[in-house]
Amino acid sequence: MNWLSQNLHIVGQLLADHLFLSIPPILLSLLISVPLGRLAAGSPRLRTPLLTGTGLLYAIPSLPLFIIIPALFGFSLRSPATMITALTLYGCALLVRGAADAFSSVPQDVRLAAAATGHSRWGLFWTVELPLAGPVLLSSLRVVTVSTVSLVTVGAVIGISSLGTLFTDGFQRNIDASIVTGIVLTVVVAFALDALCVLAARWAMPWQRAVSRA
Amino acid sequence: MWDAPGIVGLPDDREEPRVIEFDAVHKEYPDGTVAVERFSLIVPSHRVVALVGSSGSGKTTLLRMVNRMVDPSSGTVSIDGVDVRSMDRVKLRRSIGYVLQAGGLLPHRSVADNVATVPVLEGRSRRQARADALGLLERVGLDTALADRYPAQLSGGQQQRVGVARALAADPNILLMDEPFGAVDPIVRDQLQAEMRALQADIGKTIVFVTHDIGEAFALGDEVVVLRTGAEIAQQGAPAEILANPADDFVASFVGAGTAQRTLRIRQVDGRDVVVDGDGRPTGVLER
Ligand SMILES: Nc1ncnc2c1ncn2[C@@H]1O[C@H](COP(=O)(O)OP(=O)(O)OP(=O)(O)O)[C@@H](O)[C@H]1O
Ligand SMILES: [Mg+2]
């Protein structure tokens, strides 16, 4: 406790760094995966290459990825951009499949009914398919959210600061309080962002609750 | 009793014509099922044509060819002489009211929003569309207190009525109704049929009404078309004609399924006149 109160400022800064590294990849992978997942769900021909391709991303070990990405995109090795790009790729690896499943879960008869009442393709996507894909999409998004928050800590090994820095520092300098604080805060951030996803979904999908209550 | 068709005739100059014409329409689905074989029919303006046939006879397929949910393999469907294939699908669909067989409501929209679907797509303000939707709910006999529920919170029959209200919302000239009263009990069904006759007397749409219940076809159709498999027309005519002169055994058996209920006799029970149907089942008491 004593250690924490003395280092509150540093811990706060690392927490902010952690959020800055976690939130963009979560949003970016959602943004990329939704259209790819919709494509995969809509076309049997594209489905396999898209899902296998993005699924394989997850097989790339993270440390080499931290070296390949800067080389490929011209970021500096320790820049947040490297971290954000790597985590976006991992996020997509999970979320493209999740989104494909989500869009496949939209009942075909609802899609047909919406088309029959004069929704254009674009209107159908935004106002019918996306909301109805929401529940399944949400469950993948929650996995990605939690895993991204925990993967951010890996960056500490190559010197990208986050709550993970509290473990690496703590181990090197033998400060248990630092290690514990790092672990607890990482879990708290993961839970908090997960809860945020659930709340946002509840707001965006009011029919879900109304119907399950009935 | 069948001499006067249920729907009040309308002066034809009431609105611009809306004639639907099927010309030698053929539909083979990709899996090889032939749903419709060389079907031709003219649905006159402001009239109700009831298509009746057993399950799988191609009724839904015929309806869907009008709003281009299904394109015929050959032949044409036209509205007022214009081939629907030359029309924009989305515009065409918004201009036609379609009541789907199973209701077809959007599960994530409230009842009022479902009814307001097409007006909102067409750019009407949500507020106005909602106000109109409440009026339509009343018109199809639903309590406006249901407006904020979701479809899953309604009974099957209520959902179907919402489907009817939605089809009426954009005030289309053409209505396609696919077994709209399939999920309601006989009493409510009679009531809805009566309401629909009153509504049609008032609004005079061109309606294609699909049912597998010959009684319903007789009750609502100005003209009834009895279909065999492949949408082959077994007989076509006014209800009274078909009832009086079934063209063949198929039509006779189809009509017969309903005639047991329609051939009524009087039997004395406890000094009162009880009306019984062809099977001897009591259907009511005669008032003198
Ligand atoms: N999308 C489809 N693909 C293949 N076959 C189909 C398709 N839709 C309908 N069919 C077949 O076409 C035939 C006619 O179907 P349709 O739905 O038009 O019948 P229906 O008269 O409406 O039947 P019901 O009274 O049961 O609703 C059936 O044999 C059906 O199995
Ligand atoms: Mg059908």
- Examine the pLDDT at A190 and tell me if it is beyond 90: yes
pLDDT bin (cut points 50, 70, 90) of residue B3 is: very low
**Interchain CB contact of B93 with A (< 8 Å):** yes
pLDDT bin (cut points 50, 70, 90) of residue B202 is: confident
Please state the rounded mean pLDDT for residues A29-56: 93
CATH for the B12-240 domain, from 3.40.50.970, 1.20.58.110, 3.40.50.300, 3.30.750.24? 3.40.50.300
Contact between A37 and A100 under an 8 Å Cβ cutoff? The reply is: yes
Q: What is the ipTM of this complex?
A: 0.84
Please state the rounded mean pLDDT for residues B213-220: 91
Residue whose CA is at the smallest distance from ligand 1 atom 17:
B60
* C-alpha of residue B80 to centroid of ligand 2, in Å: 25
Could you give all domains of chain A from N- to C-terminal order, each with its CATH number? 2-208 (1.10.3720.10)
Query: How many Å apart are CA A146 and CA B46, to the nearest integer?
Result: 61
Please provide the DSSP assignment of chain B as one string: --SS-SSPP--GGGSS---EEEEEEEEE-TTS-EEEEEEEEEE-TT-EEEEEE-TTSSHHHHHHHHTTSS--SEEEEEETTEEGGGS-HHHHHHTEEEEBTTB---TTS-HHHHHTHHHHHTT--HHHHHHHHHHHHHHTT--GGGGGS-GGGS-HHHHHHHHHHHHHTT--SEEEEESTTTTS-HHHHHHHHHHHHHHHHHH--EEEEEES-HHHHHHH-SEEEEEEGGGEEEEEE-HHHHHH--SSHHHHHHHHHHHHHHS-EEEEETTEEEEE-TTS-EEEE---
pLDDT bin (cut points 50, 70, 90) of residue B12 is: very low
Contact between B274 and B267 under an 8 Å Cβ cutoff? The reply is: yes
The pLDDT, as a whole number, for residue A75 is 87
- Examine the pLDDT at A199 and tell me if it is beyond 90: yes
Tokens of B4: 């006067």
Contact between A96 and A82 under an 8 Å Cβ cutoff? The reply is: no
Higher-pLDDT residue of B258 and B160 is B160
Would you tell me the crossing angle of helices A164-173 and A8-42 to the nearest 10 degrees? Answer: 130
What number of H helices and E strands is found in chain A? 11, 0
Per mean pLDDT, which range of A58-72, A171-185, A195-209 is the poorest?
A58-72
Query: Pocket of ligand 1, candidates B29, B98, B214: which has the most ligand atoms within 8 Å of its Cβ, to mutate?
Result: B29
Cβ atoms < 10 Å from Cβ of A60: 14
Q: Which helix (H) or strand (E) element contains residue A165?
A: helix A164-173
CB spacing of B102 vs A119 below 8 angstroms: no
- In chain A, which residues touch B (CB < 8 A)? 109-110, 112-120, 123, 128, 131-132, 205, 207, 210-211, 214
Please state the rounded mean pLDDT for residues A160-165: 94
Quick one: which of B223, B272, B287 has its CA closest to B49?
Answer: B223
pLDDT bin (cut points 50, 70, 90) of residue B5 is: very low
CB spacing of B67 vs A120 below 8 angstroms: no
Higher-pLDDT residue of A167 and B288 is A167
The pLDDT, as a whole number, for residue B256 is 76
Per-residue pLDDT of B21-56, as tens digits, reads 999 999 999 999 999 999 999 999 999 999 999 899
- Nearest 5°: the CA angle B236, B240, B245 is 65
Close Cβ partners of A201 (under 8 Å, ≥ 6 residues apart)? A134, A135, A138, A208
CB spacing of B149 vs A210 below 8 angstroms: yes
Quick one: which of A102, A110, A90 has its CA closest to A41?
Answer: A102
How many CA within 13 A on the CB side of residue B189? 16
> Which of chain B's residues have a Cβ under 8 Å away from the Cβ of A211?
107, 150, 152-153
Nearest Cβ partner for B69 among A116, A128, A132: A116
Taking the CA of residue A38 and the nearest CA in chain B, the distance in Å comes to: 19
Residue whose CA is at the smallest distance from ligand 1 atom 12:
B35
Per-residue pLDDT of B75-87, as tens digits, reads 999 999 999 999 9
Higher-pLDDT residue of B259 and A198 is A198
- Examine the pLDDT at B72 and tell me if it is beyond 90: yes
Q: What are the φ/ψ torsions at residue A19 (nearest 5 degrees)?
A: -65, -40
Contact between B275 and B282 under an 8 Å Cβ cutoff? The reply is: yes
Please state the rounded mean pLDDT for residues A110-124: 95
SS3 state of residue A160: coil
Per-residue pLDDT of B132-155, as tens digits, reads 999 999 988 899 999 999 999 999
* C-alpha of residue B57 to centroid of ligand 1, in Å: 7
Please state the rounded mean pLDDT for residues A157-165: 92
How many CA within 13 A on the CB side of residue B97? 26
Q: Hey, of B122, B150, B158, B159, which one would you mutate to test binding to chain A, going by the most A CBs within 10 A of its CB?
A: B150
Query: How many Å apart are CA B218 and CA B196, to the nearest integer?
Result: 13
Average pLDDT, chain B: 88
Cβ atoms < 10 Å from Cβ of A27: 12
Domain positions in chain B are 12-240
* C-alpha of residue A186 to centroid of ligand 2, in Å: 56
Contact between B147 and A172 under an 8 Å Cβ cutoff? The reply is: no
Please state the rounded mean pLDDT for residues A145-153: 96
Per-residue pLDDT of B225-265, as tens digits, reads 999 999 999 999 999 999 888 888 889 888 876 566 667 77
Quick one: which of B210, B206, B219, B212 has its CA closest to B175?
Answer: B206
- In Å, what is the CA distance from B60 to each residue of B37, B57, B123, B231? 14, 9, 29, 10
Buried b (16+ CB within 10 A) or exposed e, A124-154: bbebbbbbbbbebbbebbbebbbbbbbbbbb
Close Cβ partners of B44 (under 8 Å, ≥ 6 residues apart)? B19, B206, B223
- In Å, what is the CA distance from A23 to each residue of A54, A130, A146, A181, B236? 20, 21, 11, 21, 66
Placement of tokens 């009086």 in the chain: B244
SS3 state of residue A174: coil
pLDDT bin (cut points 50, 70, 90) of residue A119 is: very high
Contact between B115 and B136 under an 8 Å Cβ cutoff? The reply is: yes
- Examine the pLDDT at B156 and tell me if it is beyond 50: yes
Rg value, chain A, Cα: 20
Nearest Cβ partner for B90 among A118, A210, A211: A118
